[in-house]
Amino acid sequence: MNFDTASLRINATRLGDRLHELGQIGATADGICRLALSAEDGAGRDLVLRWMRELGLSVSIDAIGNVVGVCPGTESGPPVMTGSHIDTVRTGGYYDGNLGVLAGLEVIQTLHEAGIQTRRSLAVAFFTNEEGARFNPDMMGSLVYVGGMALDAALSTVGIDGATVGECLERIGYAGQEPCGQPRVQSYVELHVEQGPVLEAEGFHIGAVEGVQGISWTEFSVLGVSNHAGTTPMRLRHDAGYVACAVAHQARQIASEMGGNQVATVGAVQLSPNLVNVIPYKAVLTVDLRNTDEAALQLAEQRLHRFARDIASAEGVTLSSRQLARFEPVDFDPDSISLVEATAKNLGLRVKRMPSGAGHDAQMLARVCPTAMIFVPSAGGISHNMKEFTSPADLEAGANVLLHTLLRLAS
Ligand code: HGY
Ligand code: MN
Ligand code: MN
């Protein structure tokens, strides 16, 4: 390629328009809801697939529903890949995942319009069930893609509503024929909103992400005895709800006492029969623990499980637990991180090296190829919330860093 590509820039208006159009699919009063493999996810997939085909990408759908669009380079060989996810939580925003996929398409279109064909092929992907909100674990599609989870285990996973991944893939028409893990990738770069407060608070435009913190998701089930809320003396109670709430409180205590990067979240609690005047006989709660330090994360897990066992025994209830997700901290490729950092500086942007608090498909691709991420600021650090916002200028800056990072990797 003998172009001076330094002055090349993406079309920010077109990127913003696509983000807005995709964001209409699954829009609710509480935010964007395109839970993995739902009808809304299927409609979002159809739209992005249409854009991929309009760009002339050769599109493949694998057996777990991952979608990869490839733009051929002047030479054969493994592509340089970018992408992310387009499934959302129930209260999703416009940018989480969607930005990485649509900025990838914008890069391809910008290169087409400039008449540039890179030496290596370029691929844009979206992976199935990154959020893990409906089917555990999160990053399921990219985990299968890199061989970290057996396809059968993923397909037979039962979601929070009782349906399996396989059934839902068939229902939305994305049970692909391609084997998972194709094409093998030369390198991977993902653009994503930070979803935290750091870049905005410290006045940076770009995050050169050094890695992803460890993630531990546990579901606790507590079985006690339902009884009358008024007539049952406290000493005779076996209150599942009390134990669940105590575990939830202790999760917060552990994070507060440990400090550092330790975080703890109880996102889901179900009580049965969930009535004002009945002592709950059953409680199910999820605990999300994360830390950049694996040893500290294990310590938090041990403290939580020990507390849960002790309080369940004291209350005379039965406790069981199952691991919903467990990923150790991941470090990205140092050269790729430096490339993101240098590219941002060359574009006159203030860039900060930082870890990711959220999980991402990139942490799975890092198992098989040199991988990096580019962050752009989240207003107020808000995400997984309909108020998620990143300014058009920041979106444009991030997409231009992606453009020039991919150009370097694919040339
Ligand atoms: O949970 C996460 O960090 C990601 O949003 N799946
Ligand atoms: Mn995401
Ligand atoms: Mn998310």
Asked if residues 135 and 22 have their Cβ atoms less than 8 Å apart, the reply is no
pTM of this prediction? Answer: 0.96
Across the chain, which has 411 residues, the per-10-residue mean pLDDT values are: 78 98 98 98 98 98 98 97 98 98 98 97 98 98 98 98 98 97 94 98 98 98 98 98 98 98 98 98 98 98 98 98 98 98 98 98 98 98 98 98 98 93
- Write out the E strands in 154-225: 187-193, 206-212, 214-223
Ligand 1: does its nearest atom lie under 6 Å from the Cβ of 132? yes
Diameter of the chain by CA atoms? Answer: 84
**Residue 344 lies inside a defined structural domain of this protein:** yes
Q: What rounded mean pLDDT belongs to the chain?
A: 97
Q: Are residues 279 and 399 in the same domain?
A: no
pLDDT, tens only, 16-26: 999 999 999 99
d(CA 273, CA 221): 14
CA of 347 to the centre of ligand 1 (A): 29
Ligand 1: does its nearest atom lie under 6 Å from the Cβ of 92? no
**Residue 75 lies inside a defined structural domain of this protein:** yes
Q: Among 327, 342, 358, give the residue marking a domain's end.
A: 327
Asked if residues 209 and 354 have their Cβ atoms less than 8 Å apart, the reply is yes
Q: Are residues 106 and 242 in the same domain?
A: no
**Residue 6 lies inside a defined structural domain of this protein:** no
Domain count, the chain: 2
Categorise residue 14: left if φ over 0, alpha if ψ from -120 to 50, beta otherwise: alpha
CA of 397 to the centre of ligand 2 (A): 19
d(CA 149, CA 241): 34
Q: Among 263, 293, 327, give the residue marking a domain's end.
A: 327
pLDDT, tens only, 43-81: 999 999 999 999 999 999 999 999 999 999 999 999 999
Ligand 1: does its nearest atom lie under 6 Å from the Cβ of 137? no
356 alpha carbon, distance to own chain's centre: 11
**Residue 64 lies inside a defined structural domain of this protein:** yes
**Which atom of ligand 1 is nearest to 132's Cα?**
6
CA distances from 48 to 18, 41, 124, 354 (A): 9, 11, 11, 30
Measured in residues, the chain has a length of 411
d(CA 246, CA 269): 12
Range of the structural domain that residue 269 is part of:
214-327
Q: Are residues 89 and 117 in the same domain?
A: yes
**Which atom of ligand 1 is nearest to 138's Cα?**
6
Count CB neighbours of 36 within 10 A. 27
> How wide is the angle at C-alpha 12 spanned by C-alphas 111 and 211, nearest 5°?
80
